[in-house]
Each structure stands twice: as C-alpha cells, then as structure tokens.
C-alpha cells in the first residue's frame, strides 16, 4: 500500500512538472501571421497572409491552420505544407463555434467583430484560444472593439495574447490598451502593424512605437527577434510586451 501511495505521489509530481515545462516557440512573419511550435513538435499556422503582402519563409509542414476571418491577409491556407487540419473561424458570415482538440491542443473560438459597429462595416471576426498544458494562447484576429464581460469570461486569462495594434482596420489605441487591462495577459505580442523597416508604399498600418506610447511606462517592454520561446511556469508575473521582428 505504501509503495502504491508513493508511486501515486511520484506520478502526480511528475505530471505537474511536465505541465510546467510546456514550451512554445513562436515565430512572427508580419501582419497577424504566426507559427507556433510546441515542445513535442506540433506546429500551428495562424492567420496566414498572402506571400505577396509579407515575406513568409515557411518550408516545413504544419499540423493545424486557423483563420480568424476571410480577408486576404489572414486566410491564405495554401501557404501551409503537409496535410493540416484547417479551422476557419467564419462559416459564411457567422463565427463558427469551434471547440476541438488537435494533437493535444484544445482550440476554441469566441465571436467578435472586425469593427466597433457590430460588424456593420467589416463583418465578424473569430478570436482563437489555444489551450496547451500550462499555457493559454489567445489570438484576437482583427478585433475592432473593446470586449464585453461575456467575451472576457469566455476567453479566460491568457498567458500569451496576440493583439492588433496598427489601428485603422482594427482597435484604436485607447481600445487596444483597454483590452490589455480586460484580459491581463502575462505576455503581450503586438501584431498587425507596419514595422519601421518595412519598404515604402503598399499596405500601411500604424507603428508599434505609437502603441507603446499609448500603453505608457507601466509595462515592461522586450524587443525580441523573429522567434521567441516561452515556457509554462516561467512567464512574467505582470504583463510584459514582447515586440517581435518579422525576419532576422
């Protein structure tokens, strides 16, 4: 009996340790396009943009593709190699209700709008939540409004939040800051902005520098590279903003 009890305790502790050591390698390609790689090799491509819009060097197969809405800078699923599961956040004009597990990652959607007028201007947008052992990642797509209490509750508290900050077609800066306060993530990754070194002309959004000024000095800011590795149990205790580069 004592041996069985000891084994149970060991398994419990080992399980907790396994959860705490979940790692996630995140690559940002620009716009809202990310590649997430889990420590055990599962690859998730998020909101793939057309290669004609941003530079995307993706030479490996992926397991899952998610699309927040059907605009060309978010839905180029042909970019994905291999035979991935494709989860589209919209079904026609409505947000698809998704709650399924793909290779150990629970994937859910929360309905939202692409504007602050109930979708009247730009339609609907799916917020995607990815639950891994010990880590919750939330990608807001092209969110255009402050969240309701019901949406905040449905999303839960993110460990990592991907937030559009380039304004124009998504949240304005005061609303973006308010969404950070609503969700209180440990790590915030700005997306959907025009990098300072982007070529002149073409599709332009606001800068991350304008967002950082609006966010104010209360957040720790880390300037990262093209990739960043995050480990469950080793994230900041208060929200840190991680500004990524589109390429090395």
Is the pLDDT higher at 13 or at 152? 152
- Predicted pLDDT of residue 203: 60
- Mean pLDDT value across the chain: 85
CA 31 vs CA 79, 88, 107, 149: distances in Å: 15, 18, 21, 27
pLDDT confidence bin for 219, thresholds 50/70/90: very high
- Indicate whether 4 pLDDT > 60: no
Domain borders along the chain are: 86-243
- Predicted pLDDT of residue 124: 92
Bridge partners (DSSP) of residue 212 are: none
b/e per residue, 199-237, with b = 16+ CB within 10 A?
Answer: eeeeeebbbbeebbebbeeeeeeeeeeeebebebeebbe
Average pLDDT over residues 28-39: 91
- Predicted pLDDT of residue 207: 82
- Indicate whether 18 pLDDT > 90: no
The CATH number of 86-243 is which of 3.90.1150.10, 3.40.50.1820, 3.30.70.20, 3.60.15.10? Answer: 3.60.15.10
Is the pLDDT higher at 199 or at 136? 136
- Indicate whether 1 pLDDT > 60: no
Average pLDDT over residues 77-103: 93
Contact 246/195 with Cβ under 8 angstroms?
yes
Is the pLDDT higher at 30 or at 12? 30
- Indicate whether 31 pLDDT > 70: yes
- Predicted pLDDT of residue 201: 52
Is the pLDDT higher at 52 or at 216? 216
């Amino acid at each position: 009996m004592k041996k069985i009890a000891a084994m149970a305790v060991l398994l419990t502790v080992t399980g907790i340790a396994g959860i705490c050591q979940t790692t996630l390698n995140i690559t940002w390609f620009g716009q809202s396009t990310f590649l997430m790689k889990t420590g055990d090799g599962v690859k998730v491509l998020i909101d793939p943009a057309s290669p004609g819009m941003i530079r995307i060097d993706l030479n490996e197969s992926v397991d899952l593709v998610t699309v927040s809405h059907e605009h060309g800078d978010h839905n180029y699923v042909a970019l994905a190699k291999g035979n991935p599961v494709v989860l589209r956040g919209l079904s026609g004009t409505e947000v698809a209700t998704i709650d399924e597990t793909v290779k150990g990652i629970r994937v859910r959607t929360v309905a939202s709008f692409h504007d602050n007028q109930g979708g009247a201007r730009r339609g609907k947008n799916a917020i995607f939540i990815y639950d891994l052992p010990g880590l919750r990642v939330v990608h807001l797509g092209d969110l255009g409004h402050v969240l309701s209490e019901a949406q905040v509750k449905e999303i839960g508290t993110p460990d990592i939040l991907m937030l559009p900050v380039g304004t124009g077609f998504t949240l304005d800066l005061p609303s973006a800051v308010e969404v950070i306060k609503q969700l209180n993530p440990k790590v915030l990754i700005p997306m959907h902005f025009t990098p300072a070194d982007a070529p002149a002309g073409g599709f332009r959004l606001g800068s991350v520098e304008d967002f950082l000024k609006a966010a104010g000095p209360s957040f720790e800011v880390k300037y990262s590279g093209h990739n960043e590795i995050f480990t469950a149990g080793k994230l900041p205790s208060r929200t840190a903003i991680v500004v990524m580069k589109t390429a090395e």
